[in-house]
Chain A
Amino acid sequence: MSPLRYILEKEFKQIFRNPAILKVIFIMPVIQLIMLPMAADYEIKNINIAVIDRDHSAVSNQLVQKITASNYFKLVSYDNDFDAAMESIENDKADLILEIPKNFEVNLYNEKESKLFLAVNAINGVKANLGAAYLTNIVQAYNADFRIETLTPGRFTEMPIIEISSSNWYNPKMNYKIFMVPGILVLLITIVGMNLSSINIVREKEMGTIEQINVTPIKKAHFILGKLIPFWVIGIVVISVGFLIAWLVYGIIPLGSYFTLYVFAAIYLMVILGIGLLISSYSENQQQAMLVTFFIMMIFVLMGGLYTSIDSMPIWARWFTRLNPISYFIEVMRMVVLKGSRINDIAPQLLIMVIYAIFINTWAVLSYHKRS
């Protein structure tokens, strides 16, 4: 019988005997997968708006009603004093100020033109940007309504109206959960996998058992495989639990096949665990390994394309993300879950992962020295 069998037996026993590890493996991902997609929402709601209405006309009233009826905005002050509105921005009570000038209605009827002033609190850039965009949309829609109501069609259509109507392919309702849940699942198995594997070898170093292993005729590849396989199995289990939750809680069933996802996940896990083992074999103690893992994870996660779009990153960063395994899996996840891509559609990403896995794990085996 191969010594590998004995190593695996030992690793599995140790894993299942450690109650902390079991919690990390099963309970944490479940909680996170249920909690995070609800909270990590791209839609911005509750934008606080301060309106300065110097016109107090029927039109200005209507416009304000349109804005507050949209569900995106919360009217925090309705005043005719700019200083008071500015103060609410300074106190962080308002995100936007909309100023409706005097004679707004009159100008609109007589001159066919009127101006609005919009001031944005850009401390929370995302909120401010989106808020301004939403508001512009509302005003435009109001503008269009106004024309239809007041102008006789055909006679005074000085300006052609161009309207863009968009349809969202692959996610028609733009349900951000369909978009976030698979991505968060990728992050979860990455965090679990890399953390567990990175503290593993180093734990043997701390306990001194590594020395006892090193005086045996154990083969380096056996040792590394013995460390890799158990976490690989755990990774596959965690991702299966994740798929189950995605289906039960969010009703997400991949358009493509689970088989394709598992094939990719299998290779992907080899990469992640290999990186973990590599960190472990270069670290002196568990703290060191955890710190390095945390640092790498943070870069991987933030530059993985889940929270920000890779296409809008600067060129150097886009090059950098090509080294980031997370970005490949998130891409593949979305392709398979939303678009129904098949295995030959994801072949390029798969090939890169295979090369990555071979490279990292060869390095991990080579970096493990039985003799110093």
Chain B
Amino acid sequence: MNKNAIVVNNLSKQFGQFKAVDDISFEVAKGEIFGFLGANGAGKTTAMKMLCGLSMPTSGQASVAGFDVYKENESIKKNIGYMSQKFSLYEDLTVRENIKFYAGIYGIAPQKIKDKTNQLLQQLVLEKEADMLVSQLPLGWKQKLAFSVAIFHEPQIVFLDEPTGGVDPITRREFWNLIYDAAAIGITIFVTTHYMDEAEYCNRVSIMVDGKIEALDSPGNLKKTFNAKSMDEVFLHLARKAKRIE
């Protein structure tokens, strides 16, 4: 059908007088790794929440996985994965129990959950820790686990909200390997980040400033357009225009 996983037209979200997201439009192709950049308070998380069906848009249209965000938000939820800024696995459950719980509420068959859990634990080298409480794992491992849980039900699109915040460079690299693996099996990746080196890993990036999308292109093209050596420069050039104070 449509080759786009996400289509957004003039989407806005207003809280009282404050326009958190101000008339944004973009498309994300299926299988793409789409970087969603912006300074703190630029409106990234709000925009992402609207697409995930966690927040009701004020105006504009958007469809995710072919479903309308207004009317078909529960259908969207079956087809997406989401990893929020806040760590969201249960600390008082073990690794295995967390996987089982989330897989279970997506309606995956018990036998499949079992098989896939073992496979996943092997892949993440977490077999020894499988029956440990999640609270005992180091942050980097938790993040990798949270990502794996978010894509356990094989969604079409996964939304990642600053997934590598506070994580060391080695783990960040490993995390991105997981993202590439997911993209390789056809999952569309929608990711926000503050690390400009990570922006370079994306197929295309958009940069949000004060609720608006100021630039959208591949990292290479953006650098050319703004005559910059790195994504860092591109970002600083655009984000400095921001009037919003956090």
| Residues in A lying within 8 Å of B, measured CB to CB | 1, 3, 5-7, 9-10, 13-14, 17-18, 207-209, 211-218, 370-372
Contact = CB atoms under 8 A, between A and B. Distances in A.
Contacts of B104: 1, 3, 5-7, 9
Contacts of A215: 52-54, 77, 80-82
Nearest to B84: A211
Interface in B69-94: 73-75, 77-78, 80-82, 84, 86-93
B156 to A, nearest CB: 14
B97 interface: yes
Judged by DSSP, the binding face of A is helix
A209 to B, nearest CB: 5
A10 B100 CA distance: 9
Given A18-B92, A214-B54, A9 B101 contact: yes
A212 B89 CA distance: 8
Given A17-B92, A209-B90, A371-B53, A216 B84 contact: no
Contacts of B102: 212, 216
Interface residues of B, number: 32
Contact of B86 (A3, A211, A213, A372): A211
B56 interface: yes
B54 A216 contact: no
Given A9-B101, A209-B90, A215-B82, A371 B54 contact: yes
A6 B90 contact: no
Contacts, number: 83
Contacts of A18: 92
A207 B109 CA distance: 28
B90 A217 contact: no
Contacts of A370: 53-54, 73
B92 A372 contact: no
B245 interface: no
B49 to A, nearest CB: 8
Nearest to B55: A372
Interface string B51-65: 011111000000000
B226 interface: no
B220 interface: no
Contacts of B52: 215
Given A9-B101, A216-B77, A371 B84 contact: no
